[in-house]
A and B are shown apart, each in its own frame.
Chain A
Amino acid sequence: MGAVSHSIALALTLWGAAALAASPPATQTHSAAQDLDYGEGLYHYYQGDFAQALTTLELANQRGGMSGHGHYPQLMRAGMYLAYGMTERARAEFSAHLGQGEPEPVRDTAHYYLARLSYQARDYAAARQHLQAVGEALPPHLSDESALLAVHLRIQQSGAPSLATAAPLLEPLADNRYLALLNLGNSAARGGDPIRAQSYYRAMLDEDAPEDEARVDEYLAIRDKVYTALGYSYLEQRDYASAKAAFRGVRLDTSLANRALLGYGWAAASYHDYVLALKPWQALRQRSLLDPAVQESLIAVPWAYEQIDSTGAALGAYRESELLLTAELAELDAALARMSGSELLAHLNDAESHPSLQWGDTHSRQNWLSLDQVSVLQSDLTYLDELLISDDFQARVQNLRDLLGLADKLQQWQNKLVIYTQLWEDKRQRRVERAAQLQQQQTLQQPAALGAAHREQRQRLQTLAQERNAMALATGDTAKLWLRLQRAEQSFSQLQGQQNLPPDTAAKLQLYRGILRWRAHEQFAHNLWQVQKPLTTAEATLAEADERATRIQSLLQSEPDIDAGLAALNRLSARNDRELAALRQAIQERGNALADTLSEHLSNHRVRLNDYLAQTRLSIARLLDDAYRADPPSDGPQLPEVQP
C-alpha cells in the first residue's frame, strides 16, 4: 500500500498546490504560501522529508494553526500522513473535513481519499459509500482516479460486467481508461470467462494512443500486457492462430516479450508445428536466464527437438540446460547465504553507497524501490521482481525506511540533547561562580548603599533650600571670594586692637560680605537646579540598579529558569531514549522479517529451478535409455532384463 499511498499523496499534493495556484505542471505558475509554517511544511514535503513536513505542520497546529489557506493545510497534512504510511491518522484527518461546512472541492476530495483508504482496507461497502458521496467539484485529474477506483471497486465486489453493460463505468474515464480495460479483462479471465476477458482486451486495443507524449510509454506498456493476456486467453481456448497474432503484437524489447515469446512457441507447438515453436524459444534461450520464461525455454527447446525426432539435438540441449540450471542454482544458493536482516539493514542505512536510499524528492521516493541497487539483491533482481513490485512488499520496505529515517532523526536529537544539557550545566556553573564573585565584591549591595547616600544628599539639599542657604551652594568666584572673606574676617578678629589696622577695615569687610551674599542669592536658584539635576538622574539609575540587583538576587536564590530547562531536557532525553530504543527494535524485527520474506521468495525459485533440473536430468536419462535400448553395445555390459 505504500506505493499506492505515495501516489495518492502526490496526487493530493498536486491538487492542493493547484488549489493554491502553486500547482506542479511546468506550464502553470506558482505562488508562495501565505502562511510561513504551511510554506515550510510544503518545503520539506517537496524535498521528500515527510517526517519534518508533518512535524512542522503539527508544530504550527499546536501554536494556533495556519491562516490564509482555508482547509487546504489540513487537507495537505492528511495527504502527508497518507504518504507517510499513517493511514489511520490520514483517515481521521480526512474525516474531520466532512460536515464542517467545507467547500465542495474539499468535501469531494476528502470523500475520494476516504474511498481509497476504505478500498485499501478492503472495506468495499464504505469505499462505495464515500465514492457515491463524491460530487461534481472533484479536480479533473482526481475525477479520473475516482473513475478508476469505481472500476476496481466493481471488480472486487462483483467481478467484471459484460463490456456492453460497463459503459457507465467506462464513460467517465480519461487517461486511466487503458488500465481499467486491462484490469476488467484480467478480472474476467480470473473469473473463468475468457470471451468477456477478450472483449475488454480488444476494446483496449481499439483505443487510440494518447496524444500526450508523456503518457505514450505507459500506454505501450499496458498494450503489451493486453496483447500477452489476450494471447494466453486465446491459447487457453485452443485458438492458436489468434493467440499467435496477439503475441506478435508485443514489442520484443520489453520485459513482457519473454512471456509472449514463450506463449507464441506454445501456440505453435499446440498444433504440432514444433519447428515454428523452436524459433521463439531459441530466441528466448539467448535472453537472461534469470527470467522464469527463459528458464522454461530450457525445457521447452529440447522437448521440441524430441517432438521432431531430433534426439541428438534434444540431448545436447538438455545437457546445456543442465549446466545452466546447475550454475543458476549455485548463484541462488550464494544469494540465499548472503541474505540476512542485518545485512539488509546495513545496506538500507548506508546512504552513501546507495544514493537511492537517501532522502530524495517526492517523485524519486515514490519510485524508491531501488532495492535493485542494494548489492545483496543485485544478482537476484529478476527473481525478486514479482515480489518487489507487490504493494505489500513496497509498504513494508517503505515503513522500514520511514522508521530508519525517524531513528536517524532521534539519534541526532540524542547527540544534540547531550550538548544542550552540557550547555545548561555550564550555565548553572557560571552562575554559581558569578554569584560568589558578586558576593565577594558586594556588588548586589552597592545599589542599596548608593541609594542611602543619595537620599542623604537629597535631604541635605532640601534643608539648604528651605534655609535658602545661598552661600552653601555658591560656586565659582563667589565661592572663592567668600572663602577669602572668611579668612580675612578671621585675621581681623585676631588683629583687633592693634594700632596699625586701618580704621575702616570692619566696615569694608561688612560691605564685602553684603556684596557676596547678594551675589550668592542672585545665583541661588540656578545653583540649586544645577545640584538637583544630577541627583534626579541618579535617582532613576539607582532605582533601576536596585531592581536589577533584587531580581538577580532572586534568580541566584531560586534558579528557576535553569532548573526548569534542565528538567525539561532530562524529561525529553529520557523519552527520546525510549522511543529510539523502540524504533531500533522495530527496525531490527522488520529487517529480519523482510530478509525472511526475500529468502522465502528465493527459496521458492530454488524449488522451481530444482524441478526444472530434475526434469532435465530425467529427460537426459530417458533419451540415453532409449538410445541404449535401440542400439545396445554388443561387447559392453548388458542391462539386466526387468521381470514383469
Chain B
Amino acid sequence: MAGPASQEDTMIRTLLLLALCLVCLPAGAQSDPAADAQTLKQRALELNRDLLILEEELLYPPSSQIALYLSMDVAEYFALDAVKVKIDDTFVTSELYTDNQVDALIRGGVQKLYLGNIKSGAHEISAFFTGEGPQGQPYKRAASLQVEKTTAPLVLELKIVDSTAKLQPVFEIKQWEL
C-alpha cells in the first residue's frame, strides 16, 4: 500500500489535471452542423417561398390586390400601441403592437399589415394610429388617401415619421408605383 505522502501526491495531481482540464477548455470550441440539416432547411425555405407565391396568386390576383405596409422612421415623438385601417367604410385590419414588434419597426423593419382584394375604381384608405405622444400623453391620429385601383397591385405604405421641425410625429400614407 502506498504511503500517505504518495497518496496525497497522486490525489493532488489527479485533481489538478482534472481542474486544469475544466479550466482550460477552449473558449471557442468549434464544430459543424450536419450538412443534411442545411439541405432540409434550404428545401423547406424554397417550399415556403413557392407556397407564398401560390397563395398570393390564388387569393390575391394583381387585378384586385391591395397590400398595406407599416413603417416607422425614428420614434422619438410617438410610441405606437395600435393601428386600424379602413378601406372606404369597412375596417379591414387592426393590430395591437407588442414591444418586440415595435422594436422591429424602430430598427428599420417594415410590417406587411394587410393583404386583400378590392374592386377597380376609386377608394379611400384611412389609417388610425393610437399610442403615446411626445410628452407621454395619449395620442390618436388618422391619415387618409384617395386612391384609384387599376389592374396593377395597389401597394400603400403607412408611415410614421418624426417631424423635428414640428417636434411631433407625422402620419402619412404613401402609394408605391409598381
Interface residues of A (CB under 8 A from B): 1-2, 4, 17, 20, 22, 24, 29-33, 36, 38-40, 42-47, 51-52, 54-55, 58-59, 62, 84-89, 119-122, 152, 179, 182-183, 186-187, 189-190, 225, 228-229, 232-233, 235-236, 259, 262-263, 266, 269-270, 292, 296, 303, 307, 360-361, 386, 390-392, 395-396, 398-399, 402-403, 406, 409-410, 413, 416-417, 420, 424, 565, 568-569, 572, 575-576, 579, 582-583, 586, 590
B residues less than 8 Å from A17 (CB atoms) = 107-108
Contact A39 B109 (CB under 8 A): yes
Contact B28 A391 (CB under 8 A): yes
Contact B33 A45 (CB under 8 A): no
B73 at the interface (CB under 8 A from A): yes
Contact B29 A186 (CB under 8 A): no
Interface of A, secondary structure class, is helix
CB of B131, distance to nearest CB on chain A (Å): 16
CB of B14, distance to nearest CB on chain A (Å): 10
CB of B163, distance to nearest CB on chain A (Å): 14
A to B CB contacts below 8 Å, 13 in the list:
A4-B28, A22-B107, A32-B72, A33-B71, A38-B110, A40-B110, A47-B100, A52-B48, A58-B49, A232-B16, A399-B37, A579-B43, A586-B40
With A43-B111, A85-B33 already in contact, the answer to whether A31 and B74 are too (CB < 8 A) is yes
Contact A186 B24 (CB under 8 A): yes
B residues less than 8 Å from A410 (CB atoms) = 44, 47-48
CB of B73, distance to nearest CB on chain A (Å): 5
Most chain B CB within 10 A, of A43, A269, A391, is at A43
Contact B33 A235 (CB under 8 A): no
A residues less than 8 Å from B23 (CB atoms) = 186, 189, 225, 228-229, 232, 259
Contact A32 B48 (CB under 8 A): no
Alpha-carbon distance between A28 and B98 when the two chains are bound, in angstroms: 21
Interface residues of B (CB under 8 A from A): 4, 8, 11-12, 15-16, 19-20, 22-38, 40-55, 57-59, 69, 71-75, 100-101, 103-112, 155, 157, 159, 176
Query: How many A-B Cβ pairs are below 8 Å?
Result: 233
Partner of B100, one of A33, A119, A361: A361
A residues less than 8 Å from B34 (CB atoms) = 399
Partner of A32, one of B30, B53, B108: B108
Contact B49 A59 (CB under 8 A): yes
Contact A395 B31 (CB under 8 A): yes
Alpha-carbon distance between A303 and B111 when the two chains are bound, in angstroms: 66
A residues less than 8 Å from B41 (CB atoms) = 51, 84-86, 402-403, 406
Contact A51 B109 (CB under 8 A): no
With A406-B44, A569-B58 already in contact, the answer to whether A179 and B110 are too (CB < 8 A) is no
Contact B108 A182 (CB under 8 A): no
Alpha-carbon distance between A567 and B22 when the two chains are bound, in angstroms: 60
Contact A40 B26 (CB under 8 A): no
> In this complex, what residue of B is CB-closest to A21?
B108
B residues less than 8 Å from A582 (CB atoms) = 40, 43
Alpha-carbon distance between A17 and B71 when the two chains are bound, in angstroms: 15
Partner of A86, one of B38, B48, B57, B73: B38
Other A-B contacts than A228-B23, A568-B54, 13 sampled, CB-CB below 8 A, are A17-B108, A32-B73, A32-B105, A33-B109, A43-B105, A52-B48, A119-B30, A361-B100, A395-B33, A399-B37, A409-B48, A413-B51, A582-B43
Contact A85 B38 (CB under 8 A): yes
> In this complex, what residue of B is CB-closest to A565?
B58
Contact A575 B47 (CB under 8 A): yes
Contact B33 A399 (CB under 8 A): yes
> In this complex, what residue of B is CB-closest to A402?
B41
CB of A64, distance to nearest CB on chain B (Å): 10
> In this complex, what residue of A is CB-closest to B99?
A361
Contact A189 B101 (CB under 8 A): no
Contact A46 B54 (CB under 8 A): no
Contact B20 A43 (CB under 8 A): no
Contact B32 A1 (CB under 8 A): yes
Contact A36 B110 (CB under 8 A): yes
Contact A266 B40 (CB under 8 A): no
CB of A44, distance to nearest CB on chain B (Å): 8
With A54-B45, A406-B44 already in contact, the answer to whether A85 and B107 are too (CB < 8 A) is no
Contact A47 B22 (CB under 8 A): no
B residues less than 8 Å from A590 (CB atoms) = 37
Contact B53 A89 (CB under 8 A): no
Alpha-carbon distance between A413 and B108 when the two chains are bound, in angstroms: 28
CB of A116, distance to nearest CB on chain B (Å): 10
Alpha-carbon distance between A171 and B157 when the two chains are bound, in angstroms: 48
A residues less than 8 Å from B112 (CB atoms) = 36, 40, 43
Contact A266 B55 (CB under 8 A): no
Alpha-carbon distance between A303 and B11 when the two chains are bound, in angstroms: 11
> In this complex, what residue of A is CB-closest to B157?
A36
Contact B48 A20 (CB under 8 A): no
CB of B57, distance to nearest CB on chain A (Å): 8
B residues less than 8 Å from A386 (CB atoms) = 22, 25
Partner of A43, one of B29, B109, B155: B109
Contact B108 A390 (CB under 8 A): no
Alpha-carbon distance between A46 and B71 when the two chains are bound, in angstroms: 14
A residues less than 8 Å from B104 (CB atoms) = 42-47
Contact B45 A51 (CB under 8 A): yes
Alpha-carbon distance between A409 and B11 when the two chains are bound, in angstroms: 55
Contact B31 A259 (CB under 8 A): no
Contact A190 B24 (CB under 8 A): yes
Contact B110 A32 (CB under 8 A): yes
Contact B29 A391 (CB under 8 A): yes
Contact B103 A361 (CB under 8 A): yes
